[in-house]
Amino acid sequence: MSSLSLSILQEVFGYGSFRGSQEDIVQHVIDGGDALVLMPTGGGKSLCYQVPAIARHRAGRGVTVVVSPLIALMHDQVGALDEVGVQSAYLNSSLSTEEAQRVERDMMSGKLVLLYAAPERVTHPRFQAQLQSLYERGLLSLFAIDEAHCVSQWGHDFREDYLQLSLLHERFPDVPRLALTATADDHTRADMIERLRLEQARVFISSFDRPNIRYTLVEKDNPRAQLLRFIRDEHEGDAGIVYCQSRKKVEDTAQWLSEQGIEALPYHAGLDASVRQRHQDRFLREDGLVMVATIAFGMGIDKPDVRFVAHLDLPKNIESYYQETGRAGRDGADADAWLTYGLADVVNQRRMIDESPASDEFKRIQRAKLDALLALAEACDCRRVRLLAYFGETSQPCGNCDNCLNPPATWDGTEAARKMLSCIYRFWQHGQHRFGAGHLIDVLRGKSTDKVQQYGHHTLSTFGIGQDLTENQWRAVLRQLIALGYLLAEGEFNTLGLTDSARAVLKGEVHLTLRQTQEPSRGARPAKRPAKAAHGVLLAELDALARERYESLRAWRAEVAREHNLPAYVVFHDVTLVDMARVAPQTLAELGTISGVGHKKLQAYGPQILTVLAPS
């Protein structure tokens, strides 16, 4: 049997081998088992149900129903299957009556291999009756439930409609079900098993590592200039997402990038639905656009060639950070997750938690989650080890994050920390404590401002004891003391307060190794990428002629994509084009060996591609 799934993978999708646990999952489902698949974004979940759907259809078992919450994406998903010659369709409100009727006919005849529909349709009585009829005729092959975490109230994507999906098991008990998600926490997992009635399902948990994503977290110092340098130096002409917290910042940043010659579009919930749709479409369809967005953008964006995700503001927690950065590099080729953060971000996020109407318990959890993110931002060791540890995985230093590539310099910050903490302590003793970072640093550095005079802080014993460090360095000390849990910044005025553990520092019982501030303006350029891509080759490895071929192929692909009204990546992935440009096949047989070129695409496009590649 396993040779059947492998031959489908090769013949239909043109891929040489399965990734990770794909093969086991596919086999289990072909054999009729239920499964719960936890796999990171970009891990390759779609093939886990598409290959079994094809295998079971060939065996005469009929239609696979894919439940997906994202109506907007169904068109492209079906388009991609069409390109590889798998008969599939979707049913949603965007279809005309005649179109919907045709799809229903194809479904009822068992001709369709895959049918995509939203949960509210799948559980609708009319559709249930159709499923019943298929079932009685032995033509209901498999249910695939995508984004299965939507069934859990624990996460933020909860969808009422998903709760009804337990119906599928009750009505069609012997039709195998496969639930898939990229959300891994225990709570959500338990919810999925219980609510989707997956008690008998085999659970497949993949590593959540995304080895092709390079994590870089830099100190904020003129963030726009930093962002521009990052894009120009490393991602000229690439597609990317820039996340900002506010709508206004999204618009300003998009406009500013455009003025700098980087084509950028804004996306946030305050824009007209039609504008949002247009921008999303352009991002998916055109090459090399930058989307500047709030977190309203991204759920279910399965564009595989997003080469970077940049954050100009701190996300809420590590879960959000990982989900957002996970949208980079789904195709397995090198990608960057880049974040710039500063003290103000920390203070802002804290304030948002404090001011939210949620319960105290909820706020406590949110604060703890924010603290974990701060600790990641201030870490001196491997970012990936910390990220994976947060999700319960142990790993070794990765060699592909900023700290691994350029280990940060550290210094003995014990004395500085004591100075800072004791200065705050003096404020309290002095009877006034509502002071934020700016004032604190003024007092430490002995600056006699109006405020210092007003509160008599020039008379404190700690006034001017910190002239040895710059303001920037003090800010870094402050951030790290917050990240390490010695200091709290809270309340409306971001009042700084000592935690219980601060006492040990004041008493000289703990020794603090702190991260040296980065001096970004004259900081070292990032290390050159190691010559390893997870799959495929690097563009950088192409010689001049191969690059020319690559550009010609891209132009050809853009034309085909326009004709078919599909995103370019649906025609061929970048990695596939890079391979074609490098190998420069001269016959159809040679072309067919390239990863991503299956039978149908070889037939449909092979001759054109050979012409594009032929030396002129």
Binding footprint of ligand ADP on the chain (CB under 6 A): 15, 18-19, 22, 39, 41-47, 302, 304, 330-331, 573
Three-class DSSP category at 408: coil
Q: Name the residue nearer to ligand ADP (CB basis): 80 or 257.
A: 80
- Residue 376 touching Zn ion (CB under 5 A): no
In the complex, least distance from residue 471 CB atom to ligand ADP, rounded to whole angstroms: 44
84 binds, among Zn ion, ligand ADP, none (CB under 5 to 8 A by kind): none
In the complex, least distance from residue 203 CB atom to ligand ADP, rounded to whole angstroms: 16
Other beta carbons within 10 Å of 477: 25
In the complex, least distance from residue 458 CB atom to ligand ADP, rounded to whole angstroms: 59
Residue 246: half-sphere exposure toward Cβ, Cα within 13 Å: 7
In the complex, least distance from residue 278 CB atom to ligand ADP, rounded to whole angstroms: 23
Q: Name the residue nearer to ligand ADP (CB basis): 39 or 257.
A: 39
- The DSSP annotation for 571-607 comes to H--HHHHHHHHHH---SHHHHHTSTT--HHHHHHHHH
401 binds, among Zn ion, ligand ADP, none (CB under 5 to 8 A by kind): Zn ion
Contacts 24+ apart (CB under 8 A), 529-534: 529/214, 529/334, 530/399, 530/400, 533/212, 533/332, 533/333, 533/334, 533/575, 534/211, 534/212, 534/332, 534/333, 534/334
Token digits for 366? 């949110």
- Residue 213 touching Zn ion (CB under 5 A): no
Question: Pick from 404, 441, 561, 566: which binds Zn ion (CB under 5 A)?
Answer: 404
Q: Interacting stretch for Zn ion, rule CB under 5 A, among 7-15, 42-50, 378-386, 444-452?
A: 378-386
44 binds, among ligand ADP, Zn ion, none (CB under 5 to 8 A by kind): ligand ADP
46 binds, among Zn ion, ligand ADP, none (CB under 5 to 8 A by kind): ligand ADP
Q: Name the residue nearer to ligand ADP (CB basis): 41 or 400.
A: 41
284 binds, among Zn ion, ligand ADP, none (CB under 5 to 8 A by kind): none
- Residue 398 touching Zn ion (CB under 5 A): yes
Contact 314, 377 (CB under 8 A): yes
427 binds, among Zn ion, ligand ADP, none (CB under 5 to 8 A by kind): none
- Residue 276 touching Zn ion (CB under 5 A): no
Q: Name the residue nearer to ligand ADP (CB basis): 51 or 443.
A: 51
Q: In the 8-state DSSP scheme, what is residue 394?
A: -
Q: How far apart are CA 142 and CA 201, in angstroms?
A: 14
Q: Interacting stretch for Zn ion, rule CB under 5 A, among 33-41, 228-236, 392-400, 530-538?
A: 392-400
Non-local CB neighbours of 397 within 8 Å, separated by 6+ positions: 381, 382, 384, 385, 404
In the complex, least distance from residue 309 CB atom to Zn ion, rounded to whole angstroms: 17
Q: How far apart are CA 266 and CA 260, in angstroms?
A: 15
Q: Please report which residue ranges of 40-89 form alpha helices under DSSP H.
A: 45-58, 71-83
Residue closest to 62 by CA, chosen among 128, 169, 135, 167: 135
Question: Pick from 9, 382, 416, 597: which binds Zn ion (CB under 5 A)?
Answer: 382
Token digits for 202? 């085999």
Q: Name the residue nearer to Zn ion (CB basis): 402 or 579.
A: 402
Phi and psi at residue 386, in whole multiples of 5°? -70, -45
305 binds, among ligand ADP, Zn ion, none (CB under 5 to 8 A by kind): none
- Residue 289 touching Zn ion (CB under 5 A): no
384 binds, among Zn ion, ligand ADP, none (CB under 5 to 8 A by kind): Zn ion
Place of tokens 């891929």: 15
Other beta carbons within 10 Å of 100: 16
Nearest residue to ligand ADP by CB is 44
Q: Name the residue nearer to Zn ion (CB basis): 434 or 532.
A: 532
Q: How far apart are CA 418 and CA 329, in angstroms?
A: 43
- Residue 384 touching Zn ion (CB under 5 A): yes
CA distances from 589 to 38, 194, 585, 592, 603 (A): 37, 49, 8, 5, 11
Non-local CB neighbours of 398 within 8 Å, separated by 6+ positions: 211, 382, 383, 384, 385, 404
In the complex, least distance from residue 387 CB atom to Zn ion, rounded to whole angstroms: 9
Q: Name the residue nearer to ligand ADP (CB basis): 117 or 416.
A: 117
220 binds, among Zn ion, ligand ADP, none (CB under 5 to 8 A by kind): none
Q: Name the residue nearer to ligand ADP (CB basis): 208 or 427.
A: 208
In the complex, least distance from residue 211 CB atom to Zn ion, rounded to whole angstroms: 10
- Residue 28 touching Zn ion (CB under 5 A): no
Q: Name the residue nearer to Zn ion (CB basis): 33 or 211.
A: 211
Residue 232: half-sphere exposure toward Cβ, Cα within 13 Å: 12
Q: Name the residue nearer to Zn ion (CB basis): 160 or 381.
A: 381
In the complex, least distance from residue 402 CB atom to ligand ADP, rounded to whole angstroms: 25
Question: Which residues between 462 and 481 bind Zn ion (CB under 5 A)?
Answer: none
Three-class DSSP category at 139: coil
Q: How far apart are CA 344 and CA 29, in angstroms?
A: 50
Q: Name the residue nearer to ligand ADP (CB basis): 304 or 342.
A: 304
Place of tokens 């090198």: 334
